[in-house]
Structure 1
Amino acid sequence: MAGTLIYWFRNDLRLHDNPALTGAIERSRREGLALLPVAWHSPSAPVQTDWGFERVGSHRQAFRQQAQSGLAERLRMLGSDLYVLHDPTAESFIALARRAGAVAVVGEAIEAPEEQGEVRALQATGLRVDTCWQSSLLSPEDLPWPSGRVPDVFTAFRQGVERANLQAPHPVLAPIQLPPWPASVQRPMAPVPVVVPAGATDERSSFPYGLPAWQGSESAALDHLARYLAAGRPHTYKVTRNALTGRDFASHWSPWLAVGTLSARQAMAALRTFEAARGANDGTYWLWFELLWRDHFRLVMRQHGVRLFGARGLSRDAARSAPRHNPTVFDRWCEGRTGLPLVDAAMRELRHTGYLSNRLRQIVASALIHDLGGDWRAGAAWFEAQLIDFDVHSNQGNWAYIAGVGTDPRGGRQFNLDKQTRDHDADGRYRRRWLG
């Protein structure tokens, strides 16, 4: 072999619809290179946040480990394996690349500040790093705006996409063969069993990822997608999507999308097949609508980068004061001890299970920002630590949106807690479930 090409798995822990991986395989064969699959994602390392808690909680760690374990198993079936790095710095990656005789690194493009910093850290050592944008439904170069730039307001983005009749590219097939593992690198030892927290199997959870059907692997993701469509759930999605709890009210694609064991294009292709066979309606349209929201948050971060992480976000109001952080109030919010029953129930579910419905995420975010006077960035960091479906683009975008420093043209969203309780938990069932 003339050398080694490293394929860097980031938030694309899958074989299906992975154009960057497909390109790496083709290049390895063309140039006679060994292929070394490596998983490294430094922002997910257990380091401290500025707010006094670990960056990644036990649920996020366990779900990602499930995804990596599933990927390693699939790679071994093709005669390869997965080398997982846990070092939050780039040092271990660089040492591995040297040992392998790497000629280059190939991986998906993640255009968020820290993820771009990862690429620069590798490039600073002289490594060639080639990245491929592949996590969105639509490709930036296909968009009807100059240089792939998009309107900051989602409605204008969606209308532009739909007027242009843009459709997602067809997903790329999973490889059936892989180039050889490099002789200079010892294969990983037997995988360590993933230990999941107790809440991962709690029967109250809407996403019990401790159970086989809900674990983070690619096979579980694709099986869930097939079951969801076979049951006809897309037709009722718009009606049920604002429920607070349950295993059928939403698509529940987001955890698998977040770690990349399911691609957005694979989900969309399956949905289009469903519509062709069983008909389209408001529910199936709304799933497209939600995936477009996901794309929009990615593209907005691509444009604004680090501004989305500042206290004032995208606001151009120089007189706007920075939010204040009260550690005592914030801790009570995190622990579900605010005295606001619906908020407390939701925060206890989040901490115990690593998951929360979209409606409740908006409610508790609004409560922290507008009712408790908290710093929206601290809330975003807590969600990052806890949620198994944490996605930097959607998380930061949604929190900034509710705080009024993001892309909301109305300047932020404050939810009336009494109304939300009446509308979504009038009988108190959800509150009793989590408050006892």
Structure 2
Amino acid sequence: MHDDSAATSAPTRIYWFRNDLRLEDNPALRAACAHAGHLLFVYCHGSADVTRWNVPRTSRHRQHFVRASLADLARQLGAQGSQLLEVEGDPAQILPALAQAIGATTIHCEKIAAPQETDELAALRAAGLTVQAVWQSSLLDPATLPFSPDALPDVFTNFRTLVERGQVVPPAPLARPGTIPPLPPAFATLAARWALAPGVCADIQPAAAASSFPYAQAAFDGGATAAAAHLRQYFDRALAHTYKRTRNGLTGVDYSTKFSPWLACGALSARAVYAALRTFEASHGANDSTYWIWFELLWRDYFRFLHLQHGVALYRAGGLSSLGPPGHVPRQFEAWCQARTGEALVDAGMAELNATGYLSNRLRQIVASYLVHDLGCDWRAGAAWFEAQLIDYDVYSNQGNWLYIAGRGTDPRNGRRFNLEKQVREHDPDGVYRRLWAR
């Protein structure tokens, strides 16, 4: 609902949705609603550029899921009397033009501590705009940690121990804003000039039927509505009590939580997951599996705090290590991307990734290890391919996990080289997964 009484005295502002496609538990959004007289909601679709590895920035799978999430967000804003303006192009160029058109000088958004996303904010400020960016994607509030961000422990286990010993508790999820400021009077003119047609891309084909995250099905649709329903059914079915036992599965919808696609685009917050987990434990009891969900949420936070500490250094060839530049064999990388390495388990995993935009955590580690340690390719190329393909691509976790595998992060061991024969024996002894995705 609108609050027109404040519109005459408070300024017009822009809320720029990034990886926070939700109304609930969104501190940056609440701040914008509290201080704006008129508020323009904007989402910028990046242009379809190609990385240095000749890899596109995104795939049809992630495009479909994000657009579905935006369609859900637009419906929720519409129910509160507002609208979402979807535009295409560089935020550093589009947002200043929109701000000028409506007389806004302030942009609200979430803070993302990765190089490209940080550069976007710097460009907006250089254009003369005030940017109020709020850190809000982590489970834990960095201000409550028992150490400063620049003193983050080098090893995850030490980080976890300090957090648990200090009994650091995440903030409770916030409700959605009670009122939404009205749109700027010029919205219709802006929309006629700038808006993309909202909704799911019609030319994107749904994922394969065998997908472990079948986003073509309503239960796995993008957006906060489907995310909330999935969160409820996961705990209602008591799957949390078996998570640790099943989490290394290779295929199926129930072996892992499947929260990650919604977490990645921000349709679901980590604090909402944590609150649901604690409610479940209070009613049904805690065990090692429910603890392991907390454990994985802490890993997600660790990679975020690592970015606050090291920033662009995490994107250099050597990462945080003293190792020399990694080698690279383009034809080997191409064979890996296209599931043509000749190693059946690796090729099956890459075939699933390309066909569905999803891959189990176990297989992500296996195929990443094979690219880096067996094929001798640059870990950054693998990270770029995952960025393009994964529905649940998260800049922090993707970079952190590839550094971990390559031995160029904070872990004291020199990377993680997986024994392929051992992985086959332990996780696909009967060849069921390999036959499912054989080409």
Fold conserved between structures, TM > 0.5: yes
In structure 2, the partner of 1:83 is 85
1:195 aligns with 2:202: yes
Deviation at 1:98, TM superposition (A): 0.7
Task: Give 1:85 deviation, angstroms.
Answer: 2.1
Whichever residue aligns with residue 44 of structure 2, its letter is W
**What whole-Å deviation, never above 9, does each CA across 1:169-212 have from its counterpart, x for those lacking one?**
10001124311010022274663443364352x22000011111
Question: Is residue 2:435 matched to residue 1:432?
Answer: yes
For residues 437 and 307 of structure 2, the distance between their equivalents in structure 1, rounded to whole angstroms, comes to 35
Change (3 A) 1:196 1:248: farther
Are 2:400 and 1:394 aligned? no
Mean Cα displacement is larger for which, 49-58 or 230-239? 49-58
> 1:15 maps to which residue?
23
Task: Find the aligned partners of 2:153 and 2:43 in 1 and give their Cα distance.
Answer: 34
Task: Decide whether the 8 Å contact of 2:107 with 2:131 is kept in 1.
Answer: yes
Percent identity, please. Answer: 54
Q: What SS is found at the alignment partner of 1:102?
A: coil
The residue number in structure 2 matching 1:269 is: 275
Q: Which moved more, 1:100-109 or 1:157-166?
A: 100-109
Pairwise CA distance, 1:152? 2.2
Displacement of 1:266 after TM fit? 0.5
Mapping 1:156-195, distance limit 5 Å: 156-186=158-188, 188=191, 191-195=198-202
Q: Which moved more, 1:167-176 or 1:236-245?
A: 167-176
Paired residues for 1:106-255 under 5 Å: 106-146=108-148, 149-186=151-188, 188=191, 191-195=198-202, 197-200=204-207, 202-255=208-261
Residue-by-residue CA offset, 1:306-356 (whole Å, 9 max, x unaligned): 1111110000x2xx3311221111010001000000000000000010000
Aligned counterpart in structure 2 of residue 341 of structure 1, from 337, 340, 344 = 344
Q: What are the ranges of 5 or more consecutive residues in structure 2 without an aligned counterpart?
A: 1-7
- Asked if structure 1 preserves the Cα contact closer than 8 Å seen for 2:67 and 2:198, the reply is no
Q: Normalised by the size of structure 1, how large is the TM-score? A: 0.95
Aligned partner letter, 2:287? N
Partner SS for 1:432: helix
What letter is aligned with 2:228?
L
The answer for the alignment partner of 1:291 in structure 2 is 297
Given that residues 264 and 394 in structure 2 are in contact (C-alpha distance below 8 angstroms), is that contact kept between their aligned partners in structure 1? yes
What are the Cα deviations for residues 241-291 of structure 1, in whole angstroms up to 9, with x where unaligned? Answer: 000111000000000000000000001001100000111000100000000
CA–CA separation in structure 2 for the residues paired with 1:98 and 1:236: 54
Name the structure 2 match of 1:48. Answer: 50
Q: Please give the per-residue CA displacement for 1:97-142, whole angstroms capped at 9, x wherever unaligned.
A: 1111113111111111111101011111110001111100001110
How big is each residue's C-alpha offset from its partner over 1:61-116, in whole Å with a ceiling of 9 and x where there is no partner?
Answer: 11111111111110011000111121035212111111111131111111111111
Paired residues, number = 426
Which amino acid is 1:265 matched to? R
Query: Partners in 2 of 1:176 and 1:147 — Cα distance?
Result: 33
2:410 counterpart (391, 407, 410): 407
Number of the residue aligned with 1:282: 288
- What secondary structure sits across from 1:40 in the alignment? strand
- Which whole-Å deviations, capped at 9, do the CAs of 1:399-435 have from their partners, x for residues lacking one? 0100000122212100000000010000100000000
Query: Which residue does 2:333 correspond to in 1?
Result: 330
**Cα contact 1:62–1:196 (8 A) shared by 2:** no
Shift in CA distance, 345/147, structure 1 to aligned 2, threshold 3 Å: closer
Deviation per residue, 1:342-389 (Å, 9 max, x gap): 000000000010000000000000000001111100000000000011
Residue identity matched to 2:218:
P
Task: Tell me the distance in 1 between the aligned counterparts of 2:285 and 2:434.
Answer: 37
Q: Take 1:163 and 1:53, find their aligned partners in 2: how far apart are those partners?
A: 43
- Distance (Å, rounded) in 1 between the aligned partners of 2:97 and 2:185: 16
CA distance in 2, matches of 1:391, 1:365: 16
Worse overlay, 126-135 or 85-94: 85-94
**Superposition deviation, residue 40 in structure 1:** 2.5
Deviates more, 1:235-244 or 1:202-211: 202-211
The residue that corresponds to 1:358 in the other structure is 361
What SS does structure 1 have at the residue aligned with 2:88?
coil
Equivalents in 2 of 1:243, 1:49: separation in Å? 32
Q: Deviations over 1:128-169 (max 9, x none)?
A: 001111100001110001356411210010000000001111
SS state of the match for residue 132, structure 2? Answer: strand
Q: Look up the match of 1:37.
A: 41
Contact 1:199/1:352, CA 8 A, preserved across alignment: no
Is the Cα contact below 8 Å between 2:55 and 2:384 reproduced in 1? no
Q: CA deviation at 1:48?
A: 0.8
Q: Which amino acid aligns with 1:178?
A: I
C-alpha contact (below 8 Å) 1:243/1:357 kept by paired residues = yes
Cα RMSD (Å): 1.4
Distance 2:236 2:123 in 1: 45
- Is the partner of 2:22 in helix, strand or coil? coil
Which residue pairs with 2:4 in the alignment? Answer: none
Query: Contact (CA 8 Å) 1:142, 1:148: kept in 2 or not?
Result: no
